[in-house]
Amino acid sequence: MPELALPVVLVIMGVSGSGKSTVGGLLSDRLGWTFEEGDSLHPAANVEKMAAGIPLTDEDRWPWLAKVADWIDNRLDAGENGIITCSALKRTYRNMLNRRGSGVEFVYLSVGKAELTERVEHRPGHFMPAPLLNSQLETLEPPSPSEPAIDVDAGTDPQLVVDRIMRVLGLRPKPVEPAAPVKKAPARKPAAQKNTVRKTAPTTRSAKTDQPEQPVEAAPQSPRKTRPASPRRTQSPS
């Protein structure tokens, strides 16, 4: 298959439960392209109808398909690549989405009925009830070789499905941005040491020797001797 001319919008198509949202989101992450969930463009009346288990008619789908086609054209007019999910069950629907005749590539996710039923019955929080799957399968017209489309077996791990899509279409993942350099914290300056001056008692120096005088210890004084008083003489009478 020749390499895709860019810009291009990939339309991830298929019936309910084929994994359109999962594969589209993974492709967007790998490529770095804008991604849109096509179901979010449905008018409220369509959502209510499907939630009630009533199949959509062509008259219900045309306004929705017009919004999807506008989204595609806006990306291409801006020179941007993009990815959008859309069941695109009929060739007439796909012709409307590719109304300019270039810049669109359909990626048809093919899954067996048993696997689809299992997925839809255990998918929480989606407005599309399981009974509508049969209606979609009856309406489905798989892309023909004359259409800008590839057929991918989507009954396996979604990451492997994305690998195959990128390989077949020759798409390259977005370049990995280099990690920002880690800023090193500035080194702490060592705390300034305080100069402490030890105070010593002042010393006196001898004028003759310029050496500090040694303290002179006082000589011990011997106790003063006291003479005993001589007895006073008394004159005897004559």
Task: Order across the sheet with 34-36: list the strands.
Answer: 34-36, 82-85, 9-13, 104-110, 149-153
Hey, which bits of the chain come out as E strands? Answer: 9-13, 34-36, 82-85, 104-110, 149-153
Rounded to 10 degrees, the C-alpha dihedral 59/63/69/74 comes to: 170
pLDDT in tens, 144-168: 999 999 999 999 999 999 999 999 9
User: With 60 as the cut, is the pLDDT of residue 234 above it?
Assistant: no
| Helix and strand counts by DSSP (H, E) for the chain | 7, 5
Identify the pLDDT of residue 33: 97
Average pLDDT across the chain, whole number: 83
Give the pLDDT band of residue 177 (cuts 50, 70, 90).
confident
What is the mean pLDDT of the segment spanning 75-83?
97
Give the pLDDT band of residue 65 (cuts 50, 70, 90).
very high
Q: What percent of the chain has pLDDT over 70?
A: 72
Identify the pLDDT of residue 181: 73
